[in-house]
Structure 1
Amino acid sequence: MNLLIELLAFAVAIGVLVVVHEYGHYSVARLCGVKVLRFSIGFGKPLFQWVSPKTGTEWTIAALPLGGYVKMLDERETGGAPIPVEALPHAFNRQSVWRRFAIVAAGPVANFLLAIVLFALVFATGVTEPAAVVASPAPNTPAALAGFDGGETIVAVRAENAGEAAPVRSWSDLRWKLLGAAFDHKRVVLSAKDAHGTSDFQLDLRGITEKDVDDDFMSHLGFEPGGGKLTVAGVQPDSAAQKAGLVAGDRLRTVDGIPTDNATAFIAYVKSHAGKPMTLQVERGGQAEGKREDVRIVPQSQRDEATGQQIGRIGAELATQVPSIDVHYGPVESLQLGARRTWDLAVYSVRMFGRMIVGEASLKNLSGPVTIADYAGKSARLGPSAFLSFLALVSISLGVLNLLPIPVLDGGHLLYYLVEAVTGKVVSDRWQLVFQRAGLACIVALSAIALFNDLARLIHF
């Protein structure tokens, strides 16, 4: 059943993105007076075909639904057959360089516009997200050095020396704001509320490296969602948890006197205490609020296959219930936020791709169709908002990818047109052929790496 959901969600996602991208090319070509011969969804053998009586365009759905194309009237692609004189003004190659530029750029632009609309829909209909409540940070992390103890609710972010404070509405909103500041290596001031009022915390992001951004960014800063309930969901037989008397339903309040409300931080603490006794303060199910018990537990020492080091495990399954918030926005604000989120993601994608090229970021960040299908299914099962957000994210990725200055992609053609606009000369067919072969090699290499990453994630090596 899960596989069917993934395949259907993947087909819907790819279908929508391809149609929007190619319709961008088609609509601007029509506005520029260019004759469109075929609009194809997919490649290979046509499954369905019909011809528009008004425009003469052949609309096709082909057997291989992993892309599409718009074929326009072009003297270079007639196989030597002459084009009637009256049709020449409608040929793509007869258009001005800026019209050709607009037609080619319209595909990626359509993907960005789709992302803006999708994000705006999510913002306007409302989305439930974790609140920006922080858990107790690990020692020596930027969050701990800034003075956070845990339990604070971050309400605003501003630059260190100047600038208007930007409100923080949710955990994901906080993450995006900190990610932007980390890319610029800035110090920021976070305003947070707790039981004693509102305080400012200065967070230093100047030492954040590109690898830190690649990995679990918020965890590296010491930020984890907090303020919720960390409970024991299950206990494994003959485990340290069972021997200590932990049972399903126990709520973990403190570990060695340190408040704990986040599974990630708790697991990290347990791992660092292999063979060392710990004291857990738990709240038993069915007892009144505030009535707690102390449980002494010694994590079992096990070898971590990833690092080869000995780590602690207690054999308990954990569940975290963090406070959430329903975020709603008006129509105008939703469009503004959709545009801002699209811009932020597009810039982040370009920066990340550039760092992968120069070796400052791992190529493991590339994903292929298997991973996309997996996330399509997962987001579809989470609900409409999650699927729309996923669709917007992939649409942005498709737009950015197509704008890369690689021949055979839209960005490669745009580069040719820029050279033509500056020099007044068309890039020769000979050089275009050379660049096309090089570009094809780049695309094959990128596809191979993405597919390898997909397979590596599936078999975990």
Structure 2
Amino acid sequence: MTDIVGYVFWMLVTLGVLVTFHEFGHFWVARRCGVRVLRFSVGFGKPLWRRTGRDGTEYVVAALPLGGYVKMLDSGEGEVPAHARHQAFDGKPVGQRIAIVAAGPLANLLLCLAAMWLVFVIGRPDFLPEIGRSEGLAAEAGLAAGDRLLEIRGEAVETWTGAGIALATAAMDREPAPVRVRRADGSEAVLTLPLDRPQAVLREERVLQDLGLRPAQWSPDTLVGTVLGAAAAAGLQPGDVVLAVGDRPVERWEQIGTAVQELARPGEALVLRVRRGDGELDLAVDPRPAEREDGSRYWQLGIGQGWQEPAPDALLRYGPLAAVPAAFAETWSVTRNTLGVLRRMLTGHASLRNLSGPVTIAKVASHSAERGVPDFLYFLAILSLSLCIMNLLPIPVLDGGHLLYYLIELVKGSPVGESVRVAGQFVGLALLAGLIGLAFYNDLFRPSF
């Protein structure tokens, strides 16, 4: 219940900030162009709070916080008195209308840049791209434990966040990906990940696991989280790391179960070597017989896998001046990746699971806020940039659709016909409804994290 409250709270904070900036962009430029603004609303539906300012604009906070709008004087939405015609949106030159509509996405872009700058000034904790274990495709390519990733497809990577994005992009393209690494002995090598193999199953959201890469900072795979029954009686504790079962070393959690089933004997203790703190010790455990639902029997130790949040070992921090180009570079990098994902989704090279809705936004907003101010600001920046890009798509009812109409008007010298605009609205609403439905579907059926 506490998690749900946190999700809702941080979603409201996130969307409230993004929508307010977006609509303020429209509002500010409209006022500078002499357009009369009737209402500035954050959210849709029933007003929860409203106030009329000295400028005559009604400011509203509405019940459904999934968007907002700025209502301007416009003859297309109601009768405009002759004396107020010069204050109507549709009475302004097409250049000013383009500026007013483009101001919303531009405000989100500026918010992204400001948030990125602040992230780099404060410093964003992250993890050095050092490999702790390499299996599967990664091991086949020659990547090994102790390697430090330096470049992926010619682009430098400084953290696991950057490496993960680069690898996910490479996985979408299904092309061989050259990777430059620094070995544990200090030498460098260029290896190639065979991502073009038909049998390679690579999910963008779990690309490290599917490649067989495990960051060095992750907690040991055989870390004990819960202790019950025989294990508790033998003295095992949460936080112990299982190193061997009997005379069989183990590196992965599933190896523990396999070893127990093969080595356990009735009435005989099974020795587990574990690491506790800086030392190692042997504990004798008496496995207990248990029965599965299908009636088959197996040996049970009474331990569950654990996980410890790793401590960041990298910090991206710049001075106030140096943070400016860093913010622009990061914004451009995220923009390029976002547009790349959209292009790949349209061509079928990327999964439609990349599209997320309010449920995922709420979860990620809450988790990023828990990790600290820099992480939340970075998430806010990426979401603000995504809102900017999505709004500029040439879909009627979105800002990009209106801009398309105005650009056509600018070229042909007259407004787009009413029938075309009405038909466009129906198409735009259908596309938008489809995108929203797909986003909700992904939210509901995407594996939790």
Which band: TM-score by shorter chain? Answer: 0.7 to 0.9
CA offset at residue 226 of structure 1? 1.1
Q: State the alpha-carbon separation in 2 of the partners of residues 295 and 123 from structure 1.
A: 51
Matched, 1:101 2:91: no
Matched, 1:120 2:111: no
Q: What code does the residue aligned with 2:102 have?
A: A
CA offset at residue 201 of structure 1? 3.0
Counterpart of 1:233 in structure 2 is: 224
8 Å Cα contact 2:356/2:442 also seen in 1: yes
Map of 1:216-255 to 2, 5 A cutoff? 216-226=206-216, 229-230=219-220, 232-235=223-226, 237=228, 247-252=237-242
Q: State the alpha-carbon separation in 2 of the partners of residues 444 and 22 from structure 1.
A: 21
Q: What code does the residue aligned with 1:151 have?
A: G
> For 1:392, which of 347, 370, 381 is the aligned residue?
381
Q: State the alpha-carbon separation in 1 of the partners of residues 283 and 421 from structure 2.
A: 73
* Stretch deviating more after TM superposition (68-77 or 44-53): 44-53
CA offset at residue 399 of structure 1? 1.9
8 Å Cα contact 1:407/1:436 also seen in 2: yes
Alpha carbons of structure 1 residues 361 and 277: separation in structure 2 relative to 1, 3 Å: farther
Matched, 1:151 2:151: no
| Post-superposition CA distance 1:328-381 (Å, at most 9, x none) | 222234333333333333333333334444544433333222232222222222
Q: What code does the residue aligned with 2:24 have?
A: Y
> For 2:394, which of 392, 405, 424 is the aligned residue?
405
Map of 1:23-38 to 2, 5 A cutoff? 23-38=24-39
CA offset at residue 101 of structure 1? 1.9
8 Å Cα contact 1:229/1:320 also seen in 2: yes
Alpha carbons of structure 1 residues 284 and 224: separation in structure 2 relative to 1, 3 Å: closer
Q: How many residue pairs were aligned?
A: 432
Alpha carbons of structure 1 residues 229 and 453: separation in structure 2 relative to 1, 3 Å: closer
Q: State the alpha-carbon separation in 1 of the partners of residues 159 and 271 from structure 2.
A: 30
Counterpart of 2:419 in structure 1 is: 430
Q: What code does the residue aligned with 1:217 have?
A: V
Counterpart of 1:190 in structure 2 is: 180
Map of 1:306-455 to 2, 5 A cutoff? 315-320=303-308, 322=310, 324-327=312-315, 328-455=317-444
8 Å Cα contact 1:182/1:205 also seen in 2: no
8 Å Cα contact 1:211/1:360 also seen in 2: no
8 Å Cα contact 2:41/2:60 also seen in 1: yes
Alpha carbons of structure 1 residues 339 and 197: separation in structure 2 relative to 1, 3 Å: same
CA offset at residue 435 of structure 1? 1.2
SS of corresponding position for 1:17: helix
Alpha carbons of structure 1 residues 228 and 361: separation in structure 2 relative to 1, 3 Å: closer
8 Å Cα contact 1:228/1:323 also seen in 2: no
8 Å Cα contact 2:228/2:302 also seen in 1: no
Q: State the alpha-carbon separation in 2 of the partners of residues 389 and 220 from structure 1.
A: 26
8 Å Cα contact 2:171/2:202 also seen in 1: no
Alpha carbons of structure 1 residues 48 and 190: separation in structure 2 relative to 1, 3 Å: same
8 Å Cα contact 1:408/1:436 also seen in 2: yes
Matched, 1:136 2:133: yes
Q: What code does the residue aligned with 2:10 have?
A: A
* Stretch deviating more after TM superposition (312-321 or 327-336): 312-321
CA offset at residue 314 of structure 1? 8.6
Q: State the alpha-carbon separation in 1 of the partners of residues 239 and 65 from structure 2.
A: 48
Q: State the alpha-carbon separation in 1 of the partners of residues 257 and 86 from structure 2.
A: 71
CA offset at residue 183 of structure 1? 5.6
Alpha carbons of structure 1 residues 323 and 439: separation in structure 2 relative to 1, 3 Å: same
Q: State the alpha-carbon separation in 1 of the partners of residues 124 and 64 from structure 2.
A: 35
Q: State the alpha-carbon separation in 1 of the partners of residues 351 and 69 from structure 2.
A: 32
Counterpart of 1:90 in structure 2 is: 87
| Post-superposition CA distance 1:295-315 (Å, at most 9, x none) | 9999x9999xxxxxxxx9995
| Post-superposition CA distance 1:23-58 (Å, at most 9, x none) | 1111222333333222122223334333333x4333
SS of corresponding position for 1:37: strand
Q: What code does the residue aligned with 1:430 have?
A: S
Map of 1:246-285 to 2, 5 A cutoff? 247-252=237-242, 260=251, 266-267=252-253, 282-285=273-276
> For 1:456, which of 423, 445, 449 is the aligned residue?
445
Name structure 1 gaps, 5 residues minimum. Answer: 261-265, 304-311
Alpha carbons of structure 1 residues 208 and 434: separation in structure 2 relative to 1, 3 Å: farther
Alpha carbons of structure 1 residues 269 and 341: separation in structure 2 relative to 1, 3 Å: farther
| Post-superposition CA distance 1:264-285 (Å, at most 9, x none) | xx24666898956699984432
Counterpart of 1:306 in structure 2 is: none
Counterpart of 1:308 in structure 2 is: none
CA offset at residue 93 of structure 1? 1.7
SS of corresponding position for 1:216: helix
Q: What code does the residue aligned with 1:408 have?
A: V
8 Å Cα contact 2:101/2:399 also seen in 1: yes
Alpha carbons of structure 1 residues 27 and 257: separation in structure 2 relative to 1, 3 Å: farther
CA offset at residue 150 of structure 1? 0.3
Alpha carbons of structure 1 residues 136 and 295: separation in structure 2 relative to 1, 3 Å: farther
8 Å Cα contact 1:88/1:94 also seen in 2: yes
Counterpart of 1:39 in structure 2 is: 40
Alpha carbons of structure 1 residues 334 and 203: separation in structure 2 relative to 1, 3 Å: farther
Counterpart of 1:73 in structure 2 is: 73
* Stretch deviating more after TM superposition (447-456 or 204-213): 204-213
| Post-superposition CA distance 1:369-420 (Å, at most 9, x none) | 2232222222222322222222223222222221222111111112212222
Q: What code does the residue aligned with 1:126 have?
A: G
| Post-superposition CA distance 1:85-105 (Å, at most 9, x none) | xx4333322333332222212
CA offset at residue 225 of structure 1? 0.8
Counterpart of 1:307 in structure 2 is: none
TM-score for both structures, normalised by structure 2 = 0.80
8 Å Cα contact 2:355/2:439 also seen in 1: yes
8 Å Cα contact 1:135/1:224 also seen in 2: yes
SS of corresponding position for 1:212: coil
Q: What code does the residue aligned with 1:73 have?
A: L
* Stretch deviating more after TM superposition (129-138 or 380-389): 380-389
